[in-house]
A and B are shown apart, each in its own frame.
Chain A
Amino acid sequence: MTALVAPAQLDVTGRRSFVTRMIFGPREAVLIGLIVVLMIIMWFIEPRFLALANLRAILIGSAMEMVLVVGVVFLMVGKMFDLSLDGVINMVGVVAGLLMVGGVPWPIACAAALAAGAGIGLINGICTTTLNMNPLMTTLATWWIARGIAFGLTQGISPYGFPQQFVDIGYSRLAGIPIVYYYALAALVIGALVLAFTKYGYDTFAVGGNRLASRLRGIPTRRVTMTAFLVLALLAGFTGLVYAARLNAATPQAAVNVNLRVIAAAVIGGCALAGGRGTVIGGVLGVLFVSLLLSSTLVLGIDGVWQYTILGGVILVAVGADALAAKVRGQEDLE
């Protein structure tokens, strides 16, 4: 027993590191704590905040952002970035709406609209991998392109009045529970499992940690990134369909600043812009925290126009806390 360390013992260290980095770590625990604290504070200030109806409204409002954040977490773990979400959401909703109003059967209209959304994802992927363009500028450009298409196609007149089956995508219930909860749950479970347990998840972490090393080890780095952009664009497209279904109208302004809220949630949930870090559960908790926070400011009587100022402050605090923690660790290393 001198040569080999007992495998069981190794397994414990490995497992702890694996779980905290890829599924549920201190960051997620802190977020849950913050959410609980926030709810307690709000309960003291305004007990109605915790009314079931209010919580339900918050949850339904953020369900699709939970779907989106799963895609954003994959992208950010792989050290990429996407600002084009809003554009894709609105474009896909508008394209599907116009086609349906024009008499195209709703499944075909949805498929065509999703394909258009996937096209934006494909452009994002090709530009950032094959052409090695900066993801920030690339997706800023495609955001405007998709946004422009949405506005251009509608010419200010939003199509409305869709088939009931289409409206059901956003409004039906399953076993008495709104369908959007199932979307969020499915995204959370599938996303968490794929990121933590599959080859694709491991490759995503590897690419985000060291792209060159990953390539030299035979990981298809471009395909990994391309897939992440494509999946996120499809999730955004699906969100566009759901928004259109819930409004029973397709407006080019169905989603405003959703991209920033979702990216903020991912960062608060533990994703680093430097890549290689983040969990799906953290991202979803981030969405929940952001939604609760913004909603509580409304309950407190702070005008809605201030919510982005508050959100910006929260992001600064989250990123600042990370930087501070890293600095403290660095100083400890030197001693």
Chain B
Amino acid sequence: MKIPEVLFSFRNMRKSFGSVEALRDGSIDIRPGYCHAIVGDNGAGKSTFLKLIAGAEVPDGGTEIGPNGQEVRITSPQDAMELGIATVYQNLALAENRSVAENVFLGNEPRRFGMIRRREMEERAAVALRKITTRDIPIGALVSNLSGGQRQAVALSRAVVDETKTVVLLDEPTAALGIQESRHVLDAIRGLRDTGMGVVMISHSLAHVFEVADDITVFRAGRVTAFLQRAETTPDEVVSYITGLAGAGDTEEDS
């Protein structure tokens, strides 16, 4: 199978909530085997942008191009999942009362004639967790009994539990984690990228971005203000785009 140059291409995506223009012009290319970081200040529109790709919100406008160059429409989480996009949310989107295995598959359990195939579910969840972390996480434990890093591992496992996923979206994957736990998650992100998945990650931690990201897109006031390659930029430059000191910035300051 030929590996496409670009898995997904999102162009000029827009989204308003009432009178608030959360996203005015968001664009990104997702390449297989690359980690693409989206950075920006609070309210820059990056979370909204991620939600559009994930199908959690319906865009007001924009173009979405799929792996074969054809246009796609993502209007529900189901659409995104069927196109091979897995999403790991900031709130982790875990159900506290469910076990590790049940959370890895939440809503997408393997089944036959409407009956859940529990054994298959638990075995595949164990294999998926192995790809994400070297630590033992009991498959039958309730996620409410896990640490922050373990919970993040459970959420990340969703991206690798079925081979149809080609893209994983990460919303603040290292927020609220300790140093040690962050390290585990960053290792996992590199692991996902190295399997050939396209990784898109929102992060406020530039240190973490510079550690794992290949591409960096900067959002400001609902627009993309810079697209940078990690190898050719510096944290200072990225910060200057985030704060609007460099680049096109907002039109009010320019005109």
Contacts and interface: CB of A to CB of B under 8 A. Distances in A.
A202 to B, nearest CB: 6
Interface of B: 54, 56, 76-78, 81, 87, 89, 91-99, 101-102, 106-109, 111, 114-116, 118-119, 122-123, 126-127, 130, 136, 138-142
A275 B98 CA distance: 12
A113 B96 CA distance: 40
Nearest to A333: B145
A206 interface: yes
Interface string A186-214: 00000000000111111101101110111
A70 to B, nearest CB: 18
A309 interface: no
Interface of A: 3-5, 7, 10-18, 21, 197-203, 205-206, 208-210, 212-219, 275-277
Contacts of B116: 197-199, 201-202
Contacts of A4: 126-127, 130
Given A17-B99, A209-B96, 12 more contacts: A10-B122, A11-B122, A13-B138, A14-B118, A197-B115, A206-B106, A209-B97, A210-B93, A210-B94, A213-B89, A214-B95, A276-B95
Nearest to B134: A3
Contacts of B56: 216
A276 B123 CA distance: 24
Contacts of A209: 95-98
Given A214-B107, A219-B107, A205 B126 contact: no
A10 B108 contact: no
Given A14-B122, A216-B56, A218-B76, A206 B141 contact: no
B239 to A, nearest CB: 31
Nearest to B126: A10
A12 B116 CA distance: 17
Contact of A14 (B106, B115, B130, B139): B139
Contacts of A213: 89, 91-95, 106
Q: Residue among A18, A212, A215 with the most chain B CB within 10 A?
A: A18
Contacts of A206: 95, 98, 102, 106-107
Contact of A5 (B76, B77, B98, B126): B126
